[in-house]
Structure 1
Amino acid sequence: MTILKKLKATAVAGLMGALLAAQPALAQSELDSFKPGEPEAGVEIPSADVKFGMKPYADNTFYIIAIQKGWFKDVGINILPEPNGIALNETNTIPLLLNGQVDISSNWCVGMMPTYTDTNELKCIAFIDNIVSASILANPKLGLKSFRDYVGEGKSFDEAIKLALAPINGKTLVGPPDATARPFENTAADLAGVEWSLQALEDSKSVVLAMSGRADFVHPNGAPIVYSLLKAGWTPLITLDDLLTHGPRGADSPIVALVNSTGIAANGNFVNENPNTVLRFLSVVWRTIDALEKDPGLFDLQAPYLNSVAGTSLTGAEITDMVAKLHPYIGFDGSEPWYADANSPTNITPVYDAIIADLEKSGVIPAGKITTDTFAWNRPIWELAKSYRDKASDLIEKVKAGSPTPEQAELLASAEQHFAWFNYLDAYRFALAASE
């Protein structure tokens, strides 16, 4: 789903009115940036309550695995309300974040940008996955090769995309009626040097055409439709993932504005009042993603909860497959291209700069009310965690190289345990105590 369409779907602009009118506008300087805290003294992990909410989507509810496994409690976090936090939806997420009934939530961060007309409280604090479901699919009866097939044969990006999309040149593409669905299509067509006629249909109608064999080329708007057609054998001629992985890079790349990610949102006041709690919370997220990569069977724990809040009937295996194909998760190390690689097509600065410019141009947000750095605190938070990781690693090696006493060895073991859990703040604290 494209950016403006998702903003319409969440009805952000409409639901803000009365709520934001009652909100006192904060001084911009108060919440311009993330404010790190000092590591707590001693080696006790403090207890902290976090009012956490999840929206009813596959990539918004995997946190239930960590809740059920007790991983938040491992770092002193109590998820409230018990047992599973708050079940959110598109209507109540932003109001609850603004009024403090929710501290942290799973969310599509861009959907919060319109609130900056009146307040700068809401922040993005992490990216969880890259939504790459945008796809131009071909009927399996055509027996066509995909972009990935051609790349696998050793073709360059330019060769592969031209060969993959050549069969659609001059033909009809069934795509969503909303004009904001065009950027992916237009970018792919321009890069391949092809043209097609558009038959605009809602997904409910386009999938009927596709499944009945009356459409040859389809660009579904929703990830579930893409997933169902892929399971039915349709060929992904080109996908957003293909463009991001192999396409032109740099801030001027036409692909930059197509990047779309699910993230973690928070009330900025809560973040700056509880920066260490935020680090510990995110450590559990990174731990969970790492655990899912190693043991996809953990998705079986997510399926019942997801089905209960989304009305779906997915199995753990189907969630695993959907995540891998349509929105692969971004763990701690996987975040580096987003925050530390200036040439990455997913680097947060050009991506969010492009999104903000697009929303300003469309009139969704006023010009000059929001910047990437004041809205998205992902990078400084991730960099702080990385700095604790590096310091903890050095201290752990230093203690190991000596002759640790039994007390030091116990502290070292705790440091290594929290390091393995991605809780680099407490790994540093335990390693520092062991080194003294």
Structure 2
Amino acid sequence: MSNRKKKKEKAGMKRRSFLTASAAAGGALLLPKAYARAQTTPTIPDVNVRFGGFAVTNHAWTVLASQKGFLGDVGITMDGGAPRALLETQVVPSLMNGELDITSYWFGLAIQQLDRVPNLHPILVYSYFRGNTIVGRPDLYKSVDEFIAEGMDWPEASAAAVEQMRGKRFAITASPSTYPWNEFALGMGNMSMADMETVPVEDPRAVQLAISNNVDFAAPGGAVQVYQLQFQAGWKPIISTRQMLEHMPSGAGSPLNSLLNYDLIQTTTEYLENNRDTVFRFVSAMYRTLDYIFGESQMQALNEYAPFINAQTGAQMDADSIKFIFEDLDPFFQWKDQSEVWENTDSPLHYRNIYSYQIDQFVQQGTIPDQDYDLDEIFRAKSIWQEMTEMKTRTERMLDSITGEVGPERQVLLDQARFHYDGFNFLDAERFAAAATA
């Protein structure tokens, strides 16, 4: 027996190897190499990726890429089988000191220190958070919507809504990442957090304090806790980003731009340069996971996800509550939505409309030095999406060029090209398509 066959038997026909088997004549399950010449058959190496992220709902969904075998289908094992749970303050150090290879991240933390993290690059932008909300006791306070229903316009209604908070107990997240939003919201009434009795606590504790009426208002940083307070405890959304987006002008130059930030997946310059194919494959598996989450089997996907996120957060989320978070509080960008991020300059969600404004603001405030910040260099996700789009187009041309019947060797390669194409792995789809049409 050859060393190659011994090695395959020893591997126990892993799922990825099984999927590379094709329907040969008579339906026998044989690996592509049984049909095609070794020198023309692409191979996908096995790679272990150390991945971590925030233990919050709109970051930990990445566990499904591992659980469903989507990473395994492109040769990647997520170290430990699940994202390593991190506090938001741990993400950058874990990447910079080499503990992790890739992480999820909220870019609102990075934009304020761009000069200090030039080595970090988003490789996939997948959502933005519009769930920032100040909730209040429903028996005592009015929401901005109620003030508008009484006939006030937005400036008057928003000022009235936040004025109710003056001098009251206000539970805020212990992390400072949401403080700029709180200050922006309170500024609608010429107020700041200094005008209240703030209670900095972890988000689950904020929920406990609110439910027990030990605070009058709360602004958790996590979408789970916002959902719990608003939809399970019945607290009112006094003022929120969603309400601001509905009533305030947005777009380039709008103050609302300072409220918009991407959730994303990132890596370092060194890892990207030394593991570019792995990055393409990793990103493809994430696009496939998003397609699963928002596809025909959405409720199945969210039911599979719920136990993991509940174990991480201590919440009791079900598929319906996660669906609300993913579609209302944290709208996602799938593969089909990427052009809005990178090409639609009229969109308030276009990367330059958001971050050119924010950079200018932070420079003026002295938060970051006045120097050149190349957004295209920072956001490698743009060039990765562009390259993947080109791979997709070239693959389609090659597949469309096939006419008539093909022999079993080419059919194996074509099956593989189509399998990877359907899974957004355009890197290997192109490689198998090229081998099939050589």
**Equivalent in the alignment of 2:199:** 202
Contact kept in structure 2, 1:109 and 1:262, CA below 8 Å: yes
Bigger drift between 234-243 and 345-354 goes to 234-243
**Equivalent in the alignment of 1:228:** 228
**Equivalent in the alignment of 1:277:** 278
Contact kept in structure 1, 2:399 and 2:433, CA below 8 Å: yes
Deviation digits for residues 161-215 of structure 1 (CA, Å, limit 9, x no counterpart): 579758738644666778623454168x4xxxx7789645336698688657799
Contact kept in structure 2, 1:356 and 1:371, CA below 8 Å: no
Check if 1:389 corresponds to 2:388. no
> Which secondary structure state, in structure 1, belongs to the residue aligned with residue 125 of structure 2?
strand
**Equivalent in the alignment of 2:326:** 323
Structure 1 residue ranges without an equivalent (≥5): 1-39
Deviation digits for residues 313-370 of structure 1 (CA, Å, limit 9, x no counterpart): 3334343443333223322112222111101111111312233334434444333164
Contact kept in structure 1, 2:144 and 2:160, CA below 8 Å: no
CA RMSD of the aligned region, Å?
A: 3.9
**Equivalent in the alignment of 1:372:** 375
**Equivalent in the alignment of 1:334:** 337
Check if 1:61 corresponds to 2:33. no
Check if 1:77 corresponds to 2:79. no
Instruction: Mark the structure with the bigger radius of gyration.
Output: 2
The letter for the 2-side match of 1:255 is L
Change (3 A) 1:139 1:116: closer
Change (3 A) 1:267 1:237: same
Write the distance in 1 (CA, Å) between the matches of 2:264 and 2:299: 21
Please, which of 397, 412, 432 is the counterpart of residue 434 of structure 2? Answer: 432
Q: How does the TM-score come out when normalised to structure 2?
A: 0.73
The letter for the 2-side match of 1:72 is L
Contact kept in structure 2, 1:137 and 1:237, CA below 8 Å: yes
The Cα of 1:291 is off from its aligned counterpart by 0.6
Change (3 A) 1:202 1:51: same
Aligned length: 381
Change (3 A) 1:296 1:93: same
Contact kept in structure 2, 1:353 and 1:371, CA below 8 Å: no
Check if 1:356 corresponds to 2:349. no
Write the distance in 2 (CA, Å) between the matches of 1:419 and 1:91: 37
> Which secondary structure state, in structure 2, belongs to the residue aligned with residue 123 of structure 1?
strand
Deviation digits for residues 383-422 of structure 1 (CA, Å, limit 9, x no counterpart): 11122223323333332xx214134443333222222211
**Equivalent in the alignment of 1:35:** none
Change (3 A) 1:284 1:127: same
Contact kept in structure 1, 2:210 and 2:218, CA below 8 Å: no
The Cα of 1:251 is off from its aligned counterpart by 1.5
Write the distance in 1 (CA, Å) between the matches of 2:433 and 2:245: 39
Listed as ranges, the matches of 1:165-204 within 5 Å are 165=158, 168=161, 171-172=164-165, 180-182=180-182, 184-185=184-185, 189=188, 199-202=196-199
Contact kept in structure 2, 1:203 and 1:222, CA below 8 Å: no
**Equivalent in the alignment of 1:14:** none
Contact kept in structure 2, 1:161 and 1:238, CA below 8 Å: no
> Which secondary structure state, in structure 2, belongs to the residue aligned with residue 368 of structure 1?
coil
Structure 2 residue ranges without an equivalent (≥5): 1-38
Write the distance in 2 (CA, Å) between the matches of 1:164 and 1:388: 51
The letter for the 1-side match of 2:105 is N
Write the distance in 2 (CA, Å) between the matches of 1:262 and 1:85: 15
> Which secondary structure state, in structure 2, belongs to the residue aligned with residue 265 of structure 1?
strand
Deviation digits for residues 286-312 of structure 1 (CA, Å, limit 9, x no counterpart): 11111111223323333443344x351
Change (3 A) 1:435 1:54: same
Please, which of 314, 317, 321 is the counterpart of residue 316 of structure 2? Answer: 314
> Which secondary structure state, in structure 1, belongs to the residue aligned with residue 181 of structure 2?
helix
Listed as ranges, the matches of 1:265-304 within 5 Å are 265-294=266-295, 295-304=298-307
**Equivalent in the alignment of 1:46:** 45
Please, which of 413, 416, 421 is the counterpart of residue 415 of structure 2? Answer: 413
Identity of counterpart residues, as a percentage?
26
Change (3 A) 1:219 1:372: farther
> Which secondary structure state, in structure 2, belongs to the residue aligned with residue 201 of structure 1?
strand
